[in-house]
Amino acid sequence: MALHPRPTWRRGATLALAAATGLALLAGCGDEDGSGAEPASAGSSAAPSVAPTLEPDAAPLTTFRVAAARACTEAVDQAMAAGPLPDTGVVFVGVVRGREPAPEAERTGWADTLDAHAEVLRGIAAGLAGVDAPAEATDWDAFVASYDDAAVSFGARAAVLRDGSEWSAVKTVFEESAGTSPLAGVLPSLGLDRTDCAIAGNPQPEQPAADAVAFVSAASQACTDVVTRRWTERWAEDVATVGQVVSAASGGPVEPTDPLRDALARGAEEWRETSDALAGVDAAGAPDPAAWQEVLDLAAERADGWQARLDAAEDGDPAALASALTAPWERPTLDLAPVGLAQRSCAGVDV
């Protein structure tokens, strides 16, 4: 049975405990792009890393990706709103390393922990199962099923802790069926690795403080809307167009062609929508208000900068346009860690 990484929704958690005891099977099989890695800057002549432009016949896949990304955001928000859970690593360490049988009270507590995590996993599976995947998204069903598989496995281990089995039998159940999650391999192929689908299966994502949960949820929902809207529009194509024009100019003047003006107009509108959406998030409860203001300032800078590029293109001066297109950003990257969003969909917003 393939085990899915376990969500433990707790603050400041790490994988050190599991790794130290050889329980890497619980940690998945790789890092996800939603880990807070900073996206590339659009202030350079090269286009930032963006989702591939989808051809018209790929519309069903785009519709699926949008629905899946939103479902993952909702699943993560619901799990985090329920509050932190005890660490399952403590349970596995206690059983696998325990030479003597654990007292009955401790076994019961461990079983309660596993059952709580199984309930979270079943809830995630139920939320994601409602997403209608097209034939091209062949890995989605396996991704969703892995949550149910993990819930069943956790339930079996909880049951053997409760039923009075010999300690050797308990240890056997905990040590068998080792496997790895399909998460790392599945999400990139589905185009969902920079969404909340990555954190939905993260072994131990950071749990926001209780008074920050509402802010993190609202900001993540806004970011998911931004990311999915860009999939359905021509954002990737427009960024690529601008990058290609700048590269071809090799530092010289840039002719304001109609395709370039159209790309700049759509880019300016997109960043204005992004800036407005983030500014509309209720910042009460933000872990670091100053850091969140920096995020808002970056979005506003991008909106103003793309508008300045468009204005230069409409003015028709090739030298001025080249200058506008290559002007460096004052804020080249997003710093999402101080506001608790480095692991959330906001990390997938290309800047």
pLDDT, greater one: 205 or 325? 325
User: What's the pLDDT score for residue 150?
Assistant: 86
- CA–CA separation, 200 and 71 (whole Å): 10
Are residues 170 and 160 in contact, defined by beta-carbon separation less than 8 angstroms? yes
Q: What are the residue ranges spanned by the domains of the chain?
A: 16-38+59-207, 212-348
* Share above pLDDT 90 across residues of the chain, in percent, rounded to a whole number: 62
pLDDT confidence tier of residue 81, bands split at 50, 70 and 90: confident
User: What's the pLDDT score for residue 321?
Assistant: 97
- In the numeric block, which tokens belong to residue 53? 């432009």
User: What's the pLDDT score for residue 99?
Assistant: 86
pLDDT confidence tier of residue 293, bands split at 50, 70 and 90: very high
User: What's the pLDDT score for residue 183?
Assistant: 61
Evaluate if residue 289 carries a pLDDT over 60: yes
Are residues 296 and 279 in contact, defined by beta-carbon separation less than 8 angstroms? yes
Q: Which residues does 63 contact at the CB level (< 8 Å), separation at least 6? A: 134
pLDDT in tens, 99-120: 899 999 999 999 999 999 899 8
What mean pLDDT comes out for the span 16-36?
29
pLDDT confidence tier of residue 184, bands split at 50, 70 and 90: low
pLDDT confidence tier of residue 176, bands split at 50, 70 and 90: confident
- In the numeric block, which tokens belong to residue 305? 């900068």
What mean pLDDT comes out for the span 144-168?
91
